[in-house]
Structure 1
Amino acid sequence: MTNTTKAYLSALLYSLIIGFSFMFVKLALTITSPLDTLAHRFTVAFIAASIPVIFGFVKLNISFKNILALLPLAIFYPALFFAFQAFGLVYTSSSEAGIIQAAIPLPIF
């Protein structure tokens, strides 16, 4: 498999994951509140990310200085992005949210 094919498959997989995340969050919001959805989402992600560390497949060498450097990024990308996504999907459909996110790079050009 060539690098170009891998790149296209990776882009397709990324698009599927993002697209389905809008749909699944919208479905979850019919049952529970946005904060509950965020809590469950981050809990599942933490457990999934901790399993390789607990069983020794991944070794972490993180200092307090590294944590401080990554803290702003961690707050803005996953935390605020998912919070805005969950609260925004309360007021709009998942297809509209997907279109809006797909159009975000357009003002840059």
Structure 2
Amino acid sequence: MRPDHCVTRNHIEVWHPRVLPAGPERIRFRTVLRGSLLAALVWTVAACFAYVLYNPLAAAVLGGLFTLSFTVGFGLRGRAGHSARCSLYGALGGVLDKSMAGL
């Protein structure tokens, strides 16, 4: 895959498409986070509730689930020939996007 086309909106799925640029162009990490703000907030609130209501182990398990999903997404994108930057953005955006699929 050519490096100039790797980090494009076509390879990064974020939950809130209005924050993406109009055409296929490089996007910033801030854009990925801004597009997935609701999903990141849901993960954070769930971890806080798990910590307060149950115990720190429940929050650690939830964090481990997030980390595992991110690692698998990063690995799959890396094996597909994406750059490390594209894999990072895509894995983060993909985890946040797929976790909000039910809402």
TM-score range, shorter chain: 0.3 to 0.5
The TM-score with structure 2 as length reference comes to 0.33
Largest Rg, 1 or 2 = 1
The TM-score with structure 1 as length reference comes to 0.32
Larger RCO (CA under 8 A, 6+ residues apart):
1
